[in-house]
C-alpha cells in the first residue's frame, strides 16, 4: 500500500474503512486459507464475511458492516471476482457508498481511489490530466501526466470507485466504456496506453430513483453487473436505523434528547413504508404510491426536523403535529397526483387506525 | 454386483426430483428387475396401461375419488421428471409388470374427512427428514442439500453409482427413523404395513428380483423385518369407501401450488429443464432465459449469457456448491441481464421456473368426476341436456328454480355455455330469470377441461372464480366477476374476489372507472338481498370504493375536461349519487362526505358547468342547499363573466333531463327569472352556440310543464320578481302568513298521505 499517509489515520474525523477496521482485516487475512484472486487481499469468502460479520476461529469478532440480505453481498463480491464491474443501485439511504467503500477496503486494502461524480466531473477525473507547468517546460511526458484514480487502480491492479455515476455527464460516463471493455486507457498524446493489470476492478454507485439525471447508456450498462440495495426489509429494522441516525444527528445539532420520540418515529416509518410498498403493514389494504422516493434518509430528516420543532417551539416532546408537516412535504412532491394519494391514504388508512386520532387530526390540519 | 444385495431393490426417492428420476432410471437399467412396485393407490393399477398411450402427456395426475361424493378426492400428480413416472415408463418399455403398492385410496379417503394424498415429506408441521439430514450436513435449506447431493449428480452416475447413492440414502434415513420413530406421520405406519404386504405378494410372484420406488422416508420401514401377523393387525378394521379412479390433465402451475393438491415444488419448470437437458444444464438454462427476455424486447446478447454463466458458477463456488442451482442462476440473471430489477425476474419465475405446461390425457381415460357431478345435478333438478334449444323461465323464490339458476350461472363461470340468460318476456322483477338452453356436443369437452378446477361444479366454479380474480387486470372485470359470484352463489370465492376488487380499486387512478364500478356493486348488493347471499363484505368494499371516489372526484372534474368528458363524468356523478344513497344506510358518514364532495364540485370554478349544475341540483334535492344559496350559485354560473357555453351547460346539469327540472322552475320563479335574465343577456353570436344545448335541456320537458313555463316567462320576469320581493321573507309561492281556511282544505288529504291519525296537528 503506497497510500499517502499523513499521520492522522484513526484520529481523522472520519477514518477510512481500511484504517477503522484494520484489525478485523488483519485477523481475516490471517485466518483466510481459501484461494484469493490475483492481488486480492482476501478471498471472496473472507470479503463477504468482512461485510456481513461473524466470528473467526481465533475468536476475533467481525462486526457486520452491512445489515441486509446475504445474497446481495455474495453477488457483489462474486461480481468483483469475475472481473466484471459492479454497479450498486438504490434509493438514498441504502448504504451504497458504505458498501462500496468497505468492498474496496477488503478487496484491495484501499478505499481511496475514488472519483466523486458530479454534474461538473470532467473526463480528466476518469482518464488523466496534465501538470501544465511541466507540460509547457518539458513537453508531453509520463512525468507531466497526472493520473486519475481510475488510471492508478488500473496500473496497480486495485479497486477504483466511482460515486454517483448517474450525475456524471453522459459523454464523460462513456469514457468508462473503453476502460471496462478493453481494460486499457490509451494516452494518444504520448502514443502509449495504460493496461489494467489483474486485480483491477471498478465499483460504481448510482441512485435509481433520481430521474432527470444522466441515464446510463446501454453500452455502459452492459459492462456492469447490477446489484440493487433494497430498503430495510422490516419496519423494526428501519425504525432502528432511523432512531440511531436521528440520535447521532440530534447530538451533532445539540438538540435535547427526546426519549419518548420512539412512538412518533415508528409512525413516520410506518407511513413511509406503507406508501412506498403500496400496501398497509398488515398486508390487508393496498394504497397508491406517491411519486417521491420516501427513502429512509427522508424519514430521518422528517424526524430530525420534528425534533427541532419540538425542542425549539414545543415542550420538547415529539408530537404528531411536529412530524405531520414534514411527512406531507416528503409525500406530496407532485401537487396534483400526490395530494390525491395522500388524502386517500389519510381517509382510508389513517382515519380508521387505533391510536392515530391525533396524527390524523394533525395531518388534516396541514393538508388543505 | 447386484448379487451382493439382499432382498428387493429399494429405490428411495424425493417425489418430483429430476435427479432422483435420472438415478431411478440408471438403477433400473442396471438391475433390470422383473417387476416394479410404485408408491400410489392400487386402485390405479388398471389405469397404468394408459400411461403408455401416445395421447398421454405429463404432467398428469392420478385422481381417486369417492364414487358417491366426487368432492372427496385425492390426486397423485406425476410430471415427466417424477421418479415414479420414469419407473412406470421404464417398466412398460421393458415389458415387466408395474403396480401401485400404497394403501388403497378406499381406506385413505374413508379415513380422512379431509383428503390428504400424504406426500408430506416437506410438510413443515411434521418432522421433515430431509431438513434434519441437510442440517447435519451444514445446509440451512433442505431443498438445496438434496439438490447438491442427489439432483445435481449430472447423469445420475452410471448404474453402479446410482445404486450406491440409493443405498447410502436408505441408510441415512434408517438412522433418522431410529432416532425419530414415525416422526409424527402416524398414518405412515399403516401405509407401510400395507406396502410390506404388497411386497410379500410380489416376492411370492417374482422372488427377490423386483424393484420398489417410494419416498426415501419409507425405505427403512420397508426393509424392516416385521411379522405378517403384526402388519395384518395394523390393517384390520380400516374404514372403506367405494372409489373410482381416472387420469386428469395437470399443469406445472398446480404442481407448484403448495396447498390443496399441489405437489408443493416451487420450480417445476426448472426441474423439467434439469431432467431434459442432455448436458450443460446451466448454460442451456441461461440461454433459455435470454431467449425469453429477448421475446419481451429486452436487449440480451450472448455476452450477457456468458457473463451470467460465469457469475453463477463463481457464486456456486463461493458458496461451496458443486453446480449452480436455481438460486445462483436467478441471482446472476438479475445482476447481469435485468439491471438488478425484480420485474423481469418475476416474468422468468412465472414463465420458466414454473412454466405454462399443460398435460394431456387420452380419450380412453374414464370420465372426470365433474361430469359425474353435473349429471347427478341435472338428474336431481330435472334439467335434461338437450341439443334442441329451449327457453326456461325461473322464479328464484322457488327452491328448485333457484338451484337451477345457481347451476347454470356456475357452469357459465366455468366456460360451459349451456344456458344463456336472456331478457324476460313476461316480467322484469329481480326474482325472475329467463334462460335459453342448448347442449352442444363440444360442451362435454369443456366439462372435461374444467375438470382441472375441481371435482364438483361448486368447487370447480369457486376455484375458477378465485383464479380469474387473481388474473384480472381491470377493475371492471373484477366487479363483473363479483356480480357473477353472487349470481352463482359462490360465497366461498367471494372473499378472494372482493380482495382483488379492493386491490384493483386502490390502484386504479381513473376515477371514471371507479365510478363505473360502484353502481354495479350497489346493484349486486340488491341481488344479494334477493338471493339471500351474505353481502356484508361486499357492502364494506363498496363503501371503500365510494370513499376513494369522494377523494379523487374533485381533482378529476377540475382537470380541464372537454364537453364529452364532462358529460360522461356528469353521468358518473349521478350514478355514484344513486349508489351512495343505497350504501348510506350502512354508513352515515358516507352520505355526509359525498355531500361535501358535491358542495366542492358546485362551488369550484374550474369544474365544467354541467357538473357544477348537476351537483347543485343533487344537493338541492337532498335538502342540503338552501333556496337562497341555490339562487346565488345559479347567479354566479349565469353571470355575464361566465362563458355562455359553460352557463348553458350549468342549466343542462341543473335543470336538464327527465329529473323534474321543469317542475322546479315552474315553482321557483326566482330561478326561472335568473335563467330568463341570463338568456336575454346572451350576445347574439353566442346564442346560436348555446341554442342546441338549451333545446336539449328544455325540449325534454313534458308538454304541460313547457306550456306553464312559457306562460310564466310571457308574464315577464319583472312582475314575478316584484311579486317575490313583495312577499318579504316567505318562501317563493307562499304568503307571509298562514291562511287557515285554505290550509284546512288540505289537512285531510295530508293526513291520509301520512296514514297517521293525529300527526298533522303537530305538524
Which pLDDT belongs to residue A88? 94
Of B310, B331, B552, the CB nearest to A82: B310
Average pLDDT (A218-242) is: 86
Q: What percent of chain A has pLDDT over 90?
A: 36
**What distance in Å separates the CA atoms of residue B170 and residue A205, rounded to the nearest whole number?**
51
Residues of A in contact with B335 (CB under 8 A): 75, 79, 225-227
The rounded mean pLDDT for chain A is 86
pLDDT in tens, B85-119: 999 999 999 999 999 998 888 888 887 654 444 44
| pLDDT top residue among B749 and B657 | B749
Which pLDDT belongs to residue B587? 61
Q: Which residues contact A32 (CB under 8 A, 6 or more apart)?
A: A42, A43, A45, A46
Q: Answer whether B551 sits within 8 Å of A347, measured CB to CB.
A: yes
Average pLDDT (B709-733) is: 59
Q: Answer whether A226 sits within 8 Å of B307, measured CB to CB.
A: no
Task: Judge whether residue A7 has pLDDT over 70.
Answer: no
Q: Answer whether B311 sits within 8 Å of A218, measured CB to CB.
A: no
Distance from CA of A48 to the nearest CA of B (A): 10
Vertex B80 angle, CA B75 and B85, to 5°: 60
Buried b (16+ CB within 10 A) or exposed e, A128-155: bbeeeeebeeeebeeebbebbbbbbbbe
Total residue count of chain B as it appears in this document:
763
Average pLDDT (A159-171) is: 92
Residues of A in contact with B555 (CB under 8 A): 336, 339-340
Buried b (16+ CB within 10 A) or exposed e, B218-246: bbbbbbeeeeeeebeebbeeeeebebbbb
Give the residue among A297, A279, A352, A269 at the shortest CA–CA distance from A91.
A297
Of B327, B336, B559, the CB nearest to A225: B336
Q: Which residues contact A310 (CB under 8 A, 6 or more apart)?
A: A258, A261, A316, A317, A318, A319, A322
| pLDDT top residue among A182 and B672 | A182
Of B299, B303, B311, the CB nearest to A218: B299
pLDDT in tens, B17-37: 787 888 888 889 988 999 999
Which residue ranges make up each domain of chain A? 70-228, 235-366
Beta strand pairing status for B98-100 and A128-130?
A: unpaired
ipTM over 0.95: no
Name the pLDDT band for B425 (thresholds 50, 70, 90).
Answer: low
Of B315, B342, B550, the CB nearest to A74: B315
Dmax of chain B from CA atoms? 122
Beta strand pairing status for A192-195 and A184-187?
A: antiparallel
Task: Judge whether residue B122 has pLDDT over 50.
Answer: no
Distance from CA of B505 to the nearest CA of A (A): 9
Average pLDDT (B704-726) is: 67
A-interface mutation test, from B293, B333, B339, B560, most A Cβ less than 10 A away:
B339
Average pLDDT (B332-353) is: 89
**What distance in Å separates the CA atoms of residue B470 and residue B357, rounded to the nearest whole number?**
19
Torsion from C-alpha of B142, B147, B150, B155, nearest 10 degrees:
170
Q: Which residues contact A188 (CB under 8 A, 6 or more apart)?
A: none
Q: Answer whether B310 sits within 8 Å of A227, measured CB to CB.
A: no
Task: Judge whether residue B428 has pLDDT over 80.
Answer: no
**What distance in Å separates the CA atoms of residue B652 and residue A258, rounded to the nearest whole number?**
60
Residues of A in contact with B547 (CB under 8 A): 347-348
Q: Answer whether B548 sits within 8 Å of A82, measured CB to CB.
A: no
A-interface mutation test, from B340, B509, B544, B587, most A Cβ less than 10 A away:
B340
Which pLDDT belongs to residue B280? 86
Distance from CA of B18 to the nearest CA of A (A): 26
pLDDT in tens, B149-158: 766 655 444 5
pLDDT in tens, B525-566: 766 555 555 667 777 778 888 888 888 888 888 777 788 888
Nearest CA in chain B to A74: B315
Q: What percent of chain B has pLDDT over 90?
A: 10
Average pLDDT (B403-429) is: 81
Task: Judge whether residue B759 has pLDDT over 50.
Answer: no
Distance from CA of A3 to the nearest CA of B (A): 30
Task: Judge whether residue B244 has pLDDT over 50.
Answer: yes
Which pLDDT belongs to residue A42? 93
Phi, psi of B275 (to 5 degrees): -75, -35
Q: What percent of chain A has pLDDT over 70?
A: 92
Phi, psi of B211 (to 5 degrees): -120, 150
**What distance in Å separates the CA atoms of residue B57 and residue B50, rounded to the nearest whole number?**
10
**What distance in Å separates the CA atoms of residue A19 and residue B262, rounded to the nearest whole number?**
55
For chain A, the residues whose C-beta falls within 8 A of a C-beta of chain B are: 44-45, 48, 71, 74-75, 77-79, 81-82, 84, 87, 89, 218, 221-222, 225-228, 278, 285-288, 336-337, 339-340, 343-344, 347-348
Distance from CA of B515 to the nearest CA of A (A): 15
A239-243, A290-294, B20-24, B132-136 — which is least confidently predicted? B132-136
Which pLDDT belongs to residue B284? 93
Of B319, B340, B547, the CB nearest to A347: B547
Name the pLDDT band for A1 (thresholds 50, 70, 90).
Answer: very low
Beta strand pairing status for A85-90 and A224-228?
A: parallel
Which pLDDT belongs to residue B370? 84
Which pLDDT belongs to residue B306? 93
- Highest-confidence range of B280-289, B587-596, B654-663, by mean pLDDT? B280-289
Which pLDDT belongs to residue B716? 66
Task: Judge whether residue B322 has pLDDT over 60.
Answer: yes
Residues of A in contact with B478 (CB under 8 A): none
Average pLDDT (B705-722) is: 70
Nearest CA in chain A to B336: A225
pLDDT in tens, A37-80: 999 999 999 999 999 988 988 888 898 888 788 889 999 999 99
**What distance in Å separates the CA atoms of residue A32 and residue A46, rounded to the nearest whole number?**
6
Beta strand pairing status for A159-163 and A201-207?
A: parallel
Of A78, A221, A348, the CB nearest to B548: A348
- The total of other beta-carbon atoms located within 10 Å of residue B20's CB is 32
Average pLDDT (A128-152) is: 93
Which pLDDT belongs to residue B217? 82
Average pLDDT (B66-80) is: 80
Three-state SS annotation for chain A? CCCCCCCCHHHCCCCCHHHHCHHHHHHHHHHCCCCCCCCCCCCHHHHHHHHHCEECCCCCEECCCCCCCHHHHHHHHHHHHCCCEEEEEECCCCCHHHHHHHHHHHHHCCCCCEEECCCCCCHHHCCEEECHHHHHHHCCCCCCEEECHHHHHHHHCCEEEEECHHHCCHHHHCHHHHHHHCCEEEECCCCEEEECCCCCEEEEEEECCCCCCCCCCHHHHCCEEEEECCCCCCHHHHHHHHHHHHHHHHHHCCCCCCHHHHHHHHHHHHHHHHHHHCECCCCCCECCCCCCCCCHHHHHHHHHHHHHHHHHHCCCCCCHHHHHHHHHHHHCCCCCHHHHHHHHHHHHHHCCCCCCHHHHHHHHHHCC
Q: Answer whether A74 sits within 8 Å of B319, measured CB to CB.
A: yes
Name the pLDDT band for A179 (thresholds 50, 70, 90).
Answer: very high
pLDDT in tens, A191-203: 999 999 999 999 9
Nearest CA in chain A to B341: A228
Q: Quick check: A287 and A274 in contact, CB under 8 A? A: yes
B-interface mutation test, from A73, A177, A215, A225, most B Cβ less than 10 A away:
A225
Q: How many CB pairs under 8 A join A and B?
A: 86
The rounded mean pLDDT for chain B is 79
Q: Quick check: B222 and B199 in contact, CB under 8 A? A: yes
Nearest CA in chain B to A220: B339
| pLDDT top residue among A2 and A147 | A147
Of B299, B311, B338, the CB nearest to A82: B311
Q: Answer whether A340 sits within 8 Å of B310, measured CB to CB.
A: no
- Highest-confidence range of A157-171, A348-362, B484-498, by mean pLDDT? A157-171
Name the pLDDT band for B123 (thresholds 50, 70, 90).
Answer: very low
The hierarchical CATH code for the domain A70-228 is 3.40.50.300
Task: Judge whether residue B464 has pLDDT over 80.
Answer: yes
Task: Judge whether residue A111 has pLDDT over 50.
Answer: yes
Of B502, B551, B555, the CB nearest to A285: B502
Which pLDDT belongs to residue B436? 87
The distance of Cα B24 from the centroid of its chain, to the nearest Å, equals 39
The answer to pTM > 0.95 is no
Task: Judge whether residue A296 has pLDDT over 60.
Answer: yes
Residues of A in contact with B336 (CB under 8 A): 84, 225-226
Name the pLDDT band for A310 (thresholds 50, 70, 90).
Answer: confident
Task: Judge whether residue A338 has pLDDT over 60.
Answer: yes
Distance from CA of B310 to the nearest CA of A (A): 7
Of B318, B332, B334, the CB nearest to A45: B318
Which pLDDT belongs to residue A75? 93
Residue B181, sorted as left (phi over 0), alpha (psi -120 to 50) or beta, turns out to be left
pLDDT in tens, A241-282: 787 777 767 766 777 665 566 788 888 889 998 888 888 887
Amino acid at each position: 500500500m503506497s497510500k499517502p499517509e499523513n499521520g492522522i489515520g484513526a484520529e481523522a474525523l472520519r477514518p477510512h474503512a481500511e484504517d477503522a477496521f484494520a484489525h478485523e482485516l488483519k485477523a481475516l487475512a490471517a485466518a483466510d486459507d481459501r484461494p484469493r484472486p490475483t492481488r486480492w487481499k482476501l478471498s471472496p469468502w473472507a470479503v463477504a464475511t468482512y461485510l456481513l460479520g461473524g466470528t473467526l476461529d481465533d475468536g476475533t469478532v467481525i462486526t457486520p458492516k452491512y445489515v441486509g440480505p446475504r445474497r446481495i453481498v455474495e453477488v457483489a463480491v462474486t461480481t468483483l471476482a469475475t472481473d466484471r464491474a459492479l454497479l450498486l443501485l438504490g434509493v438514498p439511504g441504502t448504504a451504497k457508498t458504505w458498501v462500496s467503500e468497505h468492498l474496496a477496503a477488503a478487496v484491495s486494502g484501499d478505499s481511496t481511489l475514488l472519483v466523486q461524480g458530479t454534474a461538473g466531473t470532467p473526463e480528466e477525473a476518469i482518464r488523466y490530466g496534465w501538470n501544465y507547468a511541466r507540460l509547457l517546460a518539458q513537453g508531453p511526458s509520463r512525468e507531466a501526466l497526472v493520473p486519475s484514480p481510475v488510471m492508478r487502480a488500473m496500473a496497480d491492479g486495485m479497486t477504483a470507485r466511482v460515486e454517483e455515476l448517474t450525475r456524471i455527464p453522459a459523454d464523460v460516463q462513456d469514457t468508462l466504456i473503453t476502460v471496462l471493455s478493453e481494460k486499457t486507457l490509451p494516452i494518444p498524446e504520448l502514443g502509449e496506453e495504460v493496461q489494467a493489470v489483474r486485480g483491477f476492478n471498478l465499483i460504481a454507485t448510482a441512485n435509481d430513483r433520481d430521474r432527470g439525471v444522466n441515464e446510463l447508456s446501454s453500452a455502459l450498462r452492459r459492462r456492469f453487473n447490477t446489484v440493487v440495495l433494497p430498503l430495510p426489509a422490516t419496519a423494526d429494522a428501519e425504525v432502528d436505523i432511523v432512531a440511531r441516525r436521528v440520535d447521532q444527528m440530534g447530538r451533532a445539532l445539540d438538540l435535547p434528547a427526546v426519549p419518548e420520540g420512539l412512538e412518533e418515529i415508528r409512525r413516520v416509518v410506518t407511513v413511509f413504508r406503507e406508501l412506498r410498498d403500496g400496501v398497509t403493514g398488515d398486508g390487508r389494504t393496498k394504497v397508491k404510491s406517491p411519486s417521491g422516493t420516501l427513502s429512509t434518509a427522508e424519514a430521518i430528516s422528517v424526524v430530525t426536523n420534528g425534533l427541532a420543532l419540538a425542542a425549539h417551539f414545543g415542550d420538547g416532546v415529539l408530537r404528531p403535529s411536529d412530524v405531520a408537516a414534514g411527512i406531507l412535504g416528503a409525500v406530496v412532491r407532485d401537487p396534483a397526483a400526490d395530494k390525491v394519494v395522500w388524502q386517500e391514504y389519510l381517509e382510508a388508512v389513517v382515519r380508521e387506525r387505533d391510536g392515530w386520532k391525533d396524527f390524523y387530526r394533525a395531518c388534516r390540519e396541514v393538508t388543505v | 454386483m447386484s448379487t451382493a444385495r439382499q432382498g428387493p431393490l429399494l429405490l428411495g426417492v424425493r417425489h418430483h426430483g429430476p435427479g432422483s428420476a435420472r438415478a431411478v432410471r440408471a438403477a433400473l437399467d442396471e438391475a433390470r428387475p422383473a417387476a416394479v412396485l410404485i408408491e400410489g393407490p392400487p386402485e390405479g393399477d388398471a389405469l397404468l396401461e394408459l400411461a403408455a398411450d401416445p395421447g398421454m402427456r405429463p404432467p398428469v395426475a392420478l385422481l381417486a375419488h369417492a364414487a358417491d361424493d366426487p368432492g372427496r378426492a385425492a390426486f397423485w400428480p406425476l410430471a415427466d421428471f417424477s421418479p415414479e413416472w420414469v419407473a412406470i415408463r421404464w417398466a412398460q418399455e421393458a415389458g415387466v409388470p408395474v403396480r401401485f403398492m400404497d394403501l388403497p385410496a378406499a381406506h385413505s379417503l374413508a379415513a380422512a374427512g379431509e383428503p390428504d394424498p400424504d406426500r408430506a415429506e416437506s410438510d413443515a408441521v411434521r418432522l421433515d427428514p430431509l431438513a434434519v439430514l441437510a442440517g447435519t450436513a451444514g445446509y440451512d435449506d433442505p431443498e438445496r442439500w438434496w439438490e447438491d447431493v442427489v439432483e445435481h449428480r449430472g447423469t445420475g452416475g452410471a448404474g453402479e453409482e446410482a445404486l450406491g447413492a440409493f443405498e447410502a440414502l436408505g441408510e441415512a434415513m434408517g438412522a433418522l427413523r431410529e432416532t425419530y420413530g414415525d416422526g409424527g406421520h402416524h398414518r405412515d405406519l399403516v401405509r407401510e404395513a400395507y406396502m410390506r404386504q404388497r411386497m410379500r405378494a410380489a416376492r411370492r410372484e417374482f422372488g427377490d428380483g423386483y424393484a420398489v420406488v417410494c419416498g426415501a422416508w419409507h425405505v427403512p420401514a420397508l426393509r424392516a423385518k416385521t411379522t405378517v401377523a403384526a402388519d395384518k393387525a395394523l390393517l384390520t378394521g380400516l374404514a372403506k369407501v367405494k372409489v373410482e379412479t381416472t387420469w386428469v390433465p395437470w399443469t406445472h402451475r398446480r404442481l407448484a401450488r403448495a396447498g390443496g393438491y399441489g405437489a408443493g415444488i416451487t420450480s417445476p419448470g426448472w426441474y423439467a429443464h434439469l431432467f431434459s437437458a442432455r448436458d450443460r444444464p446451466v448454460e442451456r438454462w441461461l440461454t433459455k432465459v435470454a431467449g425469453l427476455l429477448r421475446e419481451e424486447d429486452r436487449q440480451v446478447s450472448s455476452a450477457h449469457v456468458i457473463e451470467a454463466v460465469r457469475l453463477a458458477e463463481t457464486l456456486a463456488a463461493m458458496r461451496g456448491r458443486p453446480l449452480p442451482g436455481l438460486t445462483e442462476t436467478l441471482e446472476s440473471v438479475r445482476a447481469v441481464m435485468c439491471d438488478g430489477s425484480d420485474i423481469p425476474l418475476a416474468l422468468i419465475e412465472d414463465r420458466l421456473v414454473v412454466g405454462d405446461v399443460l398435460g394431456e390425457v387420452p380419450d380412453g381415460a374414464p370420465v372426470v368426476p365433474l361430469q359425474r357431478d353435473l349429471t347427478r345435478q341435472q338428474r336431481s333438478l330435472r334439467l335434461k341436456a338437450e341439443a334442441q334449444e329451449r327457453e326456461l323461465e325461473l322464479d328464484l323464490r322457488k327452491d328448485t328454480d333457484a338451484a337451477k339458476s345457481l347451476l347454470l350461472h356456475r357452469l357459465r363461470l366455468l366456460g360451459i355455455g349451456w344456458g344463456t340468460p336472456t331478457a324476460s318476456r313476461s316480467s322484469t322483477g329481480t326474482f325472475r330469470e329467463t334462460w335459453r338452453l342448448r347442449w352442444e356436443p363440444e360442451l362435454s369437452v369443456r366439462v372435461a377441461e374444467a375438470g382441472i378446477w375441481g371435482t364438483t361444479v361448486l368447487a370447480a366454479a369457486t376455484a375458477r372464480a378465485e383464479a380469474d380474480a387473481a388474473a384480472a387486470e381491470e377493475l371492471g372485470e373484477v366487479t363483473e366477476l363479483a356480480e357473477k359470484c353472487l349470481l352463482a352463489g359462490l360465497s366461498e370465492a367471494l372473499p378472494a374476489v372482493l380482495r382483488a376488487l379492493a386491490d384493483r380499486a386502490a390502484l386504479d387512478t381513473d376515477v371514471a372507472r371507479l365510478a363505473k364500478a360502484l353502481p354495479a356493486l350497489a346493484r349486486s348488493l340488491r341481488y344479494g338481498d334477493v338471493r339471500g347471499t351474505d353481502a356484508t363484505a361486499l357492502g364494506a368494499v363498496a363503501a371503500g370504493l365510494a370513499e376513494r371516489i369522494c377523494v379523487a372526484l374533485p381533482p378529476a372534474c377540475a382537470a380541464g375536461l372537454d364537453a364529452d368528458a364532462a358529460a360522461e363524468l356528469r353521468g358518473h356523478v349521478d350514478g355514484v349519487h344513486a349508489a351512495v344513497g343505497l350504501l348510506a344506510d350502512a354508513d352515515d358518514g358516507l352520505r355526509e362526505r359525498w355531500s361535501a364532495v358535491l358542495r366542492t364540485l358546485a362551488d369550484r370554478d374550474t369544474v365544467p358547468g354541467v357538473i357544477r349544475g348537476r351537483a347543485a341540483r343533487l344537493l338541492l334535492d337532498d335538502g342540503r342547499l338552501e333556496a337562497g344559496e341555490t339562487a346565488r350559485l345559479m347567479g354566479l354560473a349565469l353571470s355575464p363573466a361566465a362563458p355562455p357555453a359553460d352557463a348553458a351547460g350549468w342549466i343542462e346539469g341543473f335543470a336538464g333531463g327527465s329529473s323534474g327540472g321543469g317542475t322546479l322552475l315552474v315553482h321557483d320563479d326566482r330561478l326561472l327569472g335568473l335563467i330568463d335574465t341570463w338568456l336575454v343577456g346572451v350576445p347574439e353570436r353566442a346564442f346560436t352556440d348555446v341554442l342546441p344545448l338549451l333545446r336539449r335541456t328544455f325540449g325534454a320537458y313534458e308538454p304541460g310543464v313547457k306550456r306553464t313555463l312559457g306562460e310564466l316567462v310571457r308574464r315577464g320576469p319583472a312582475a314575478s320578481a316584484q311579486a317575490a320581493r313583495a312577499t318579504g321573507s316567505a318562501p317563493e309561492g307562499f304568503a307571509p302568513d298562514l291562511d287557515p281556511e285554505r290550509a284546512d282544505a288540505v289537512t285531510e288529504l295530508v293526513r291520509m298521505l301520512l296514514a297517521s291519525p293525529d300527526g298533522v296537528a303537530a305538524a
